[in-house]
Structure 1
C-alpha cells in the first residue's frame, strides 16, 4: 500500500480536488503504473458533471501513458519497467463477442481486482476503469499496452481514448480507403483524429464541418481538404457540391446530437456509410423516414472506442507517429500540471484546445 496525489470529483458539478489517494498492493492480475502524462478528455468533464453515473467520488483521468512499477503475482502480460499506454478495452477472450472473432466488441472487459481509496477508506470510482490524474494508478494487466519507450508520453497517451476513437472511427468502423470521400461533422479531438485517420487511409476528399472557424483551421492542419462552417451554410448541400452531387462515401458524426446525425445521414452517397462516434445523452432521440433508410442502402454504424484492439492498434499508431507519418503531436495543445485540471475543463469550449495534457 502507498499514498499518492490524485485528482477526484467528489460531487456533481463541484470543482475537482487534488487530494491523497491510497494505492493497495496489486491483486493477482493487477499492476501499479507510474503515470507520466494524462490527457484531459471531455469524458472526464462528463464524470464531474454527473453525465456518466452518480458513483462519486470519481478518480478522474484515463488518456494516459506511464511505466509499470509493480505487478501482481500472476501477471504475465507486462513487467516492471515496461512503458505502456493504458486502455479501457482490455478484452476478456471468452465472451460471446470474443468467441465469434469480434474482440473489439468485448462485452466483459477487465478492470483492477482491488479498489483505490481515499485515506478514510472511501472507495474511488476510476474514470473508465483507469483513473490516471495521479502519480500512480492501479489497473488490470491487460489494460496496459506496451509501445515504443522512446515515444513522448504526452502524445501517445492520447491513444487511450479520444484520438483512438477518431482514428478507429475512420479506419476500423468506417473502412475508409484510398480515393474515398469523407465528411467529418464536429472537429474536436475525436473529429480531428478521424480526419487524420482518413488522410492516413488515403482519402482524397476530406470535408471538415463545424460551427467554429478556429476549429476548422485546426482541422485543415490535420488533413482536411475542405472546410464547412455549418452555422452559415447547409452542410449537406455543400458536401454534395464537393462530391459531384453524390454525397460522401463515409460521413463521421463526432458530435452526438440528433440534428448533426441527420445531416450525416443525408450527406452520404447512396450505399455510403454513416459512423456515429459522438456520444449522445440519454434523452436524445431521432426520427428518420424508414423509406429513406431503406432507399439509401449502405450502413449506419456506431463506433465504440474506434472498434480498436489496443494490442494491435496502439503499437502501430505509435510507430507511424515516430516515423513522422501520423502527426499525433499536433493534438497536444498545452502541457499542464496536475493542479490545473479544472482550468483545462474551462478551456474546452473556446475552439483553440484539442488536448490539455497533465504531465507528472
Structure 2
C-alpha cells in the first residue's frame, strides 16, 4: 500500500500505525513521516505540518472505527477520504463533518480482480516493495500454527504458506 501510494508522487506521505515495528517497515517502503496515534496527538501533528489545513487525502486501511473518526477529523475541507478496509463491526461517524463542515469526497475502495495483474507485475519488477512483509512461512500442514502467528501476537506483519 505504501509503495503504491509513493508511485503517485505525493508531496508528503504520512503513515499512522499503533505498532512501531510496522512504522519502521513503512519508512523502508517510502513513508516520509510516521506517527503512532497511541503516542501522540495525530490531529495536532497533521495540523502543525499543514498550517492547520489538514490532509488532502486520507486512506483508511485498518478497519478500526477510531481510524475512520480520526481520518475525517484530519482531512482538509474539500479533501478526499478513501475507505479501503473490511470492518468487523459497524462504525458510526458524525455525517455533518462530511457534508456541512468539510464537503469531503468519500471513496470506497477494495481489491478487485483487475488489481492483481498490476500488483503482480509491479512486485516482480520491484516497483512494489514486499521484503519482510511475510515474516513467517509455513507448510500447509502447519496451518494451526500459521493462524496463531497471523494474529500478530508473535510480532509478525503477515504470514504465508509455502507450497513445495
Q: TM-score, normalised by structure 2?
A: 0.85
The question of 1:202 aligning with 2:9 is answered yes
Asked whether the 8 Å contact 1:249–1:273 carries over to 2, the reply is yes
Asked whether the 8 Å contact 1:215–1:352 carries over to 2, the reply is no
The question of 1:357 aligning with 2:153 is answered no
Quote the Cα distance in structure 1 between the aligned partners of 2:46 and 2:133.
25
Quote the Cα distance in structure 1 between the aligned partners of 2:68 and 2:10.
21
The question of 1:295 aligning with 2:97 is answered no
Distance 1:230 1:351, change over 3 A: farther
Match of 1:304 in 2: 110
Match of 1:332 in 2: 134
Give the 3-state SS of the residue equivalent to 1:278 in structure 2.
coil
Quote the Cα distance in structure 2 between the aligned partners of 1:222 and 1:351.
22
Shift >4 Å, 4+ stretches: none
How many residues align? The count is 162
Match of 1:106 in 2: none
> Considering only aligned residues, what root-mean-square deviation do their CA atoms show, in Å?
2.1
Unaligned runs of 5+ in 2: none
Match of 1:323 in 2: 125
**CA drift at 1:262:** 0.6
Match of 1:263 in 2: 70
Higher RCO (C-alpha 8 Å, min separation 6): 1
Unaligned runs of 5+ in 1: 1-192
**CA drift at 1:292:** 5.4
The question of 1:252 aligning with 2:59 is answered yes
Report matched runs for 1:34-49 at 5 Å: none
Quote the Cα distance in structure 1 between the aligned partners of 2:55 and 2:6.
14
> Which protein is bigger by CA-based radius of gyration?
1
Asked whether the 8 Å contact 2:97–2:103 carries over to 1, the reply is no
Whose strand fraction is larger, Structure 1's or Structure 2's?
Answer: 1
Quote the Cα distance in structure 1 between the aligned partners of 2:97 and 2:110.
27
Quote the Cα distance in structure 2 between the aligned partners of 1:339 and 1:250.
42
Whose helix fraction is larger, Structure 1's or Structure 2's?
Answer: 2
Give the 3-state SS of the residue equivalent to 1:280 in structure 2.
coil
Higher deviation after alignment, 253-262 or 343-352: 343-352
Q: TM-score, normalised by structure 1?
A: 0.42
Match of 1:346 in 2: 148
